[in-house]
Chains A and B, each alone.
Chain A
Amino acid sequence: DIQMTQSPSSLSASVGDRVTITCRASQNISPFVNWYQQKPGKVPRLLIFSISRLQSGVPSRFSGSESGTDFSLIISSLQPEDFATYYCQQTYTTPWTFGQGTRVDIK
């Protein structure tokens, strides 16, 4: 299975901060990387697909990038509604796998 090692597991940040979450894949999987947001008690929501393409309706403060087998989700200016847990996912090959999640909470 392809392992998606996500870091950090949690972080505390303030409104307006720039936040970066990273997933390291166990092999080359470009461009088959997606990012999801999940708020407590809610359903995961697709934010970004194919590394950097924004899903319809997602604010432009969210972006994605890659460097080799490292993939990043960047929030340019954290907003109150962005406090949530974020998961990366690979769909390069089955079994499709997710990162362990990064919880973003208020500092």
Chain B
Amino acid sequence: QLQLQESGPGLVKPSETLTLTCSVSGDSVSNYYWSWIRQSPGKGLEWIGFIYYTGSTKYNPSLGGRVTTSLDTSKNHFFLTLNSVTAADTAVYYCARRIQPGSSPVFVFDIWGQGTLVTVSS
């Protein structure tokens, strides 16, 4: 059964770079599209971006070009990098699998990691 696990620093200083890892187990990272989603404390959900093993990526413009994603097939991991963080980037960060279930054209996030809280503070 596919499982996802986020890891990374719980505390990042303002203006620094945040890097998170999502470890994939139970299937190959090459088989699906993967997304990052975040949730600020007490707030709703914000889609950050997606990546496919071919290198195809798409990001939310709300992040102002500060985000990149990458993937390591040898380790079965994928990554999120967010530059120039501010307090507004404090959130729980989730990695998730994106699929099109059945014959539907719709994209969904059907499997999520447990999430990792990142606090931006000096």
Q: A residues bordering B, Cβ < 8 Å?
A: 1, 31-34, 36, 43-44, 46, 49-50, 53, 55, 87, 89, 91, 94-101
Contact = CB atoms under 8 A, between A and B. Distances in A.
B82 to A, nearest CB: 15
B56 interface: no
A102 B31 CA distance: 34
Contacts, number: 62
A96 B109 CA distance: 11
Contacts of A55: 101, 108, 110
B60 A94 contact: yes
Nearest to B48: A95
Interface string B55-66: 000101110000
Interface string B90-120: 0000100000011011111110111100000
Given A95-B60, A95-B61, A95-B62, A46 B109 contact: yes
B44 interface: yes
